[in-house]
């Protein structure tokens, strides 16, 4: 049974240790959010964080210094643990409880995106003299119903424990968005000169980029819209108005390779007319943030890069993770409904048409042209939108305040 938890009004003494559990289901979204959150809690809030991850290989793509062969290690102030996400029998659970601190929960336990905690760990949570604050960190959504569920408490059916639902979001009454203290200052330092750099930080093997024309980053899931958009760009780009597209190595790269009729790897450059494609390596998060901040348009996917594109304060296109029965379309429109009202009608219509076409896998030249014509307006709007979001408390800070009132 759910009940609404009262909003905290003060922050008691600091919790000593937090546990974050993350199951890598698909792509890098879940671990991307969990890793950002863990680092920020450690560096900005002085919290000792244990991050439990069941797939270190995928995690390693975001954290090149990670040793995927180790069971535990310290990186960026975070205690990273390999999570053997299996059910233990009673004997194994008892052994783990007696011989290891792995079963000693911290003051706060975060279940990222509804992953199921080990039963022995839940039992250990119940045995604490003061049970931890148990958080189910939900997926990001602008849907209105999430505001009604944010902070709701759900008592455990067997143990004297309560789980709280925490919804990241865009509204001041929600859970907020991940935003490190320095991210906006770093962005402004990179973009303050008003010129696009020929070289982007942390991409040492990248060929020099054209300093004029439209620069676009493309990070997407597989979709026929990639081929359609490349075709449109190749036909419409001109020497006076070239297009340079930067594509990090990802699942989208196969469509690009097929379009150019050749295999591709990081460092490759392809051209068709005034369209120029640069293939980038998959890099850690801070380096990807720098890429977004130096582009004119950012095509992003999932949750983590979607939020980072908003802090980049540039026009964006969101490739939302597809769900059964088109449930993702509702989430897509929920965001457009809060993002578009301040736009002029023509720009709003162009943005909605482009987003819907991309996520449906169907694009035509008119859709792209309308979006391109609206870019001056969309660029100003993106800056205003980002500034407005930055006036709110970030997700980590709201989470700390929420939990410290309950431990």
Task: Assess contact for 173 and 148: CB atoms under 8 A.
Answer: no
Query: What's phi and psi for 352, nearest 5 deg?
Result: -60, -40
Q: With contact defined as beta carbons under 8 Å apart, do 315 and 378 qualify?
A: yes
Cα–Cα distance measured from residue 176 to residue 310, given in angstroms and rounded to the nearest whole number? 13
* Residue with the two structure tokens 């709007």: 381
Separation CA 33–CA 114 (nearest Å)? 13
Distance CA 265, CA 248 (A): 10
User: Which residues does 80 contact at the CB level (< 8 Å), separation at least 6?
Assistant: 50, 51, 53, 59, 66, 72, 73, 74
pLDDT of residue 101: 62
How far is residue 371's CA from residue 379's CA, in Å, rounded to a whole number?
Answer: 11
Catalytic residues: 30, 303
Residues of the chain with CATH 3.40.50.2000: 183-390
Helix, strand, or coil (residue 150): coil
Q: Specify whether domain 3-177+392-404 bears CATH 2.30.29.
A: no
Name the pairing type of β-strands 162-166 and 214-218. Answer: unpaired
Find out whether 399 and 166 touch, Cβ atoms under 8 Å: yes
Tell the burial category of 249 from Cβ atoms under 10 Å away from its Cβ (0-12, 13-18, 19+). middle
- Of 131, 114, 42, residue with least CA distance to 80: 42
C-alpha pair distances (Å), 291 with each of 172, 297, 305, 309, 311: 28, 11, 11, 10, 12
DSSP annotation string for 166-212: E---SSTTS------TTHHHHHHHHHTTSS--SS-TT-TTPPPPPSS
Residue pLDDT tens, the chain, 407 long = 444 444 443 343 444 899 999 998 766 668 999 999 999 999 999 999 999 999 898 898 889 999 999 999 999 999 999 998 655 444 444 444 434 566 689 999 999 998 999 999 999 999 998 999 999 999 999 999 999 999 999 999 999 999 999 999 999 999 999 999 999 999 998 887 667 777 787 776 778 888 899 999 999 999 999 999 999 999 999 999 999 999 999 889 999 999 999 999 999 999 999 999 999 998 888 889 999 999 999 999 989 999 999 999 999 999 998 877 777 899 999 999 999 999 999 999 999 999 999 999 999 999 999 999 999 999 999 999 999 999 999 999 999 999 999 88
Phi–psi pair at 119, nearest 5 degrees: -60, -40
Helix and strand numbers, DSSP H then E, in the chain = 15, 15
DSSP H or E stretch at residue 216? strand 214-218
Residue 154: phi, psi to the nearest 5?
-130, 105
Q: Which overall architecture, per CATH, does domain 183-390 show? A: 3-Layer(aba) Sandwich (3.40)
Phi, psi angles (nearest 5°) of residue 172: -55, -25
């Amino acid at each position: 049974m759910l009940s609404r938890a009262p909003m905290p009004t003060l922050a008691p003494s600091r919790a000593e240790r937090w546990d974050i559990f993350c199951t890598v289901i698909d792509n890098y979204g879940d671990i991307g959010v969990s890793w950002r959150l863990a680092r920020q809690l450690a560096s900005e809030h002085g919290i000792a964080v244990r991050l439990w991850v069941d797939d270190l290989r995928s995690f390693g793509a975001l954290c090149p210094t990670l040793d995927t062969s180790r069971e535990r290690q310290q990186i960026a102030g975070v205690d990273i643990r390999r999570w053997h996400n299996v059910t233990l029998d009673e004997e194994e659970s008892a052994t783990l409880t007696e011989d290891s601190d792995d079963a000693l929960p911290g003051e706060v336990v975060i279940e990222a995106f509804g992953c199921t905690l080990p039963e022995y760990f839940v039992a250990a949570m119940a045995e604490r003299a003061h049970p931890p604050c148990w958080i189910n960190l939900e997926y990001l959504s602008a849907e209105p119903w999430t505001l009604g569920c944010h902070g709701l408490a759900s008592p455990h059916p067997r143990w004297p424990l309560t789980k709280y639902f925490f919804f990241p979001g865009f509204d001041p009454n929600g859970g907020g968005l991940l935003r490190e203290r320095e991210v906006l200052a770093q962005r402004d330092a990179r973009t303050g000169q008003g010129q696009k750099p020929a070289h982007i930080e942390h991409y040492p093997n990248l060929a020099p980029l054209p300093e004029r024309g439209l620069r676009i980053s493309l990070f997407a899931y597989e979709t026929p819209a990639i081929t359609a958009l490349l075709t449109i760009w190749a036909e419409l780009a001109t020497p006076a108005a070239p297009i340079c597209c930067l594509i990090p190595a990802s699942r989208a790269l196969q469509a690009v390779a097929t379009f150019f009729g050749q295999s591709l790897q990081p460092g490759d450059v392809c051209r068709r007319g005034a369209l120029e494609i640069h293939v980038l390596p998959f890099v850690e998060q801070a380096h990807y943030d720098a890429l977004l901040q130096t582009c004119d348009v950012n095509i992003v996917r999932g949750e983590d890069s979607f939020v980072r594109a908003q802090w980049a304060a540039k026009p964006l296109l969101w490739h939302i993770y597809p769900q059964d029965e088109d449930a993702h379309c509702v989430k897509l429109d929920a965001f457009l409904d809060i993002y578009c009202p301040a736009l002029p009608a023509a720009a709003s219509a162009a943005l909605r048409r482009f987003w819907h076409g991309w996520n449906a896998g169907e694009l035509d030249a008119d859709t792209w042209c309308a979006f391109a014509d609206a870019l001056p307006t969309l660029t100003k709007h993106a800056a205003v939108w980002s500034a407005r979001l930055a006036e709110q408390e970030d997700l980590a800070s709201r989470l700390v305040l929420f939990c410290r009132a309950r431990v």
